[in-house]
Amino acid sequence: MNRFLFLAVLTAPFVMAQTAQEPVVLTIDVENYVAYRVDVLDPTKVAKETNPTTGTVAAFLESIQVGDIVAVNGKPAKGLYQNVGTIMPFRANPTAGQPIADLNSTGFFRCSWEILGVDGAYIGTLVDGGAGSAHALIGGVGAFAGITGVHTTDTLIPQRSASSAEDPSKRRVNGATGKIRATFFLYPAFRPTVQMTANGPAVAHLDYSPVTPSNPARPGETLIVAATGVGPVIPGIQPPGAVQFSGPPYQFPSAIRRRHRDGYAAIDGRLDSGACRKHSSRPAADAITHRLTGGRGGLSHCRRPPAGCRLRRSTESNRRYVGRAVARNRKALSLSARTET
């Protein structure tokens, strides 16, 4: 079974000594980094130019930055980095065309880091967003499910600014020299920990005999490790007793279905029926006010119309009736209370 032990493998020397309060440090190297400026409004000219272009950098223009993930914590990896946002070069002392602010900052950008192994197998995705040089993690998928944290980005080689007229299929050959390195400080929802025994870590051979100094592991041998906090795995493990959901898309509670049979239904906060004037002298609103007041003071109660009866009161009419009925029943409660005292 292949497991998403990504964080554990990359930080193995530190896992045993870490506490739940300490972050896991992850560095991601990105190359072939290009920033596409959405400066072309004619759709017939977008992504058509095969030669290198120069993009326009100006406030209010959208920017789409793309790069290839080449390493994680110094180990070879694959993947895709995307950064989408609006160019807003905020300045405390702006020049013409720059938005003014109390500090020098950028527009808000959203980033995704889709990480693959060297064999192309999917590992996980980190999603973050923010303004300026530091971003907060919004969440993660795969090995990073439930993760939180922050990251900073260092520019190793500035990216090329290209126009959205340029064909993005030529990104790697049209001068994609940009390089960045992002440092993540992650707080995983799951922290892999090897279980300990009286003789040390719970590691065994395939015959379940423990690995000991007298029975050591051999080079290339497959071992069994007892660990907790592994997190998501491939293939997924279904919890004991779990049942595959096979019901219809919408299952309303029995109480709602019962109220609908009684002549009214309140679904998503909307009154969707009314009284049957032919068969019932107590409209649906009485049933609703009965539930609102708990049925005290001799208030009206619900009467179920015969089968096949169609509810004809309009939504607006029923809304007005409910208002009058609630006011009437509140007045009845007030009179009842004064009589009792």
Q: In the chain, where are the structural domains located? A: 2-187, 254-340
What is the mean predicted confidence (pLDDT) over 24-41?
Answer: 96
Average model confidence (pLDDT) for the chain? Answer: 77
Fold of 2-187: AOC barrel-like (2.40.480)
User: pLDDT value at position 241?
Assistant: 72
User: pLDDT value at position 315?
Assistant: 52
pLDDT grade, residue 231 (50/70/90)?
confident
For the chain, percent of residues with pLDDT exceeding 70: 63
Query: Is the peptide bond between 235 and the residue preceding it cis, with omega within 30 degrees of 0?
Result: yes
Measured distance between the N- and C-terminal CA atoms of the chain, rounded to whole angstroms: 74
Does 265 have pLDDT greater than 60? no
Check residues 141 and 246 and name the one with the higher pLDDT. Answer: 141
Residue listed under structure tokens 């795995």: 233
Q: pLDDT tens, 81-129? A: 999 999 999 999 999 999 999 999 999 999 999 999 999 999 999 999 9
User: pLDDT value at position 259?
Assistant: 45
Compute the residue count for the chain.
341
14, two tokens: 């530190």
Q: Whose CA is closest to 33, among 68, 80, 79?
A: 68
Does 281 have pLDDT greater than 90? no
Tell me if 274 sits within 8 A of 317, measured CB to CB.
yes
3-class DSSP state of 45: helix
Q: Whose CA is closest to 82, among 60, 100, 103, 65?
A: 65
Does 256 have pLDDT greater than 50? no
User: pLDDT value at position 23?
Assistant: 92
Residue 300, amino acid: S
The span from the CA of 299 to the CA of 333, in Å, is 9
